[in-house]
Chains A and B, each alone.
Chain A
Amino acid sequence: AQRVTQPEKLLSVFKGAPVELKCNYSYSGSPELFWYVQYSRQRLQLLLRHISRESIKGFTADLNKGETSFHLKKPFAQEEDSAMYYCALPPDDMRFGAGTRLTVKP
């Protein structure tokens, strides 16, 4: 069964420090993975998708099929990055991980 796992419920870093939010998936086939973000009092929104291989707000994520991972990384965290981050996996519907709450401290 397709599933995504985010092992960290909470992650706290200082401003300017690197950040990595972990996501592991279980999927038979060639997966397409996404990261969604929800800032305080805002709607859930797409941050990036692996197929586009782009950097959004300084975040990147690489699909590692060998490790079945899709970790989200940013070299220098900013306070405005504080939010809930969800890893998600289609195809028929979106399966979300439990989420990681990132707090970037000043």
Chain B
Amino acid sequence: DTGVSQDPRHKITKRGQNVTFRCDPISEHNRLYWYRQTLGQGPEFLTYFQNEAQLEKSRLLSDRFSAERPKGSFSTLEIQRTEQGDSAMYLCASSSKGPETQYFGPGTRLLVL
């Protein structure tokens, strides 16, 4: 499968714990996006990278959230001191041009107890 992959697919954690998610984009794609999707809502943009540079961050990305993309390949999204409101599906997408050509991963579903 040469599509976008995300790991883990599911994560259950207790409030206050830190979690880290990984996204592996399609290999030739230089842009990588993170979205959050809560129940009944469409995906909400969090941040995006062009190669290793983080070019835009949403106001949704509080200080507890950090994303990296070392070497412009895979990316990680870390949430520190998780809160119940962080429970959501976290989606990653990659593209070779702009957001209009992005391909989505299967998502990581986070449940914070």
Chain A interface residues toward B at CB < 8 A? 6, 9, 32, 34, 43-46, 49, 86, 88, 90-99
Q: Is B41 at the interface (CB under 8 A from chain A)?
A: yes
Tell me the nearest residue of chain B to A85, going by C-beta: B42
Task: Specify which chain B residues have a CB less than 8 angstroms from the CB of A95 in the assembled complex.
Answer: 45
Tell me the nearest residue of chain B to A49, going by C-beta: B100
Q: Is B91 at the interface (CB under 8 A from chain A)?
A: yes
- Name the interface residues of B12-66: CB closer than 8 Å to any CB of A: 33, 35, 40-45, 48, 56, 58
Q: Would A43 and B104 count as touching, CB distance under 8 A?
A: yes
- In the complex, 7 of the A-B residue pairs with CB atoms within 8 angstroms, ordered by the A residue number, are A44-B91, A45-B104, A92-B56, A93-B33, A93-B99, A94-B33, A96-B44
A93 touches which of B42, B48, B101, B103 (Cβ 8 Å): B48
| Distance from B57 Cβ to chain A, minimum over Cβ atoms (Å) | 10
Q: Would A44 and B43 count as touching, CB distance under 8 A?
A: yes
A98 touches which of B33, B42, B56, B98 (Cβ 8 Å): B42
Q: Would B43 and A94 count as touching, CB distance under 8 A?
A: yes
Task: Specify which chain B residues have a CB less than 8 angstroms from the CB of A93 in the assembled complex.
Answer: 33, 45, 48, 56, 58, 99
Give the CA-CA distance A55 to B33 in the complex, in Å: 27
Give the CA-CA distance A91 to B55 in the complex, in Å: 14
Give the CA-CA distance A91 to B107 in the complex, in Å: 23
| Distance from B80 Cβ to chain A, minimum over Cβ atoms (Å) | 23
User: What are the 10 A-B residue pairs with the smallest beta carbon separation, nearest first?
Assistant: A96-B42, A93-B45, A44-B104, A94-B99, A43-B104, A86-B42, A96-B43, A99-B42, A90-B99, A98-B42
- Name the interface residues of B74-113: CB closer than 8 Å to any CB of A: 91, 98-107
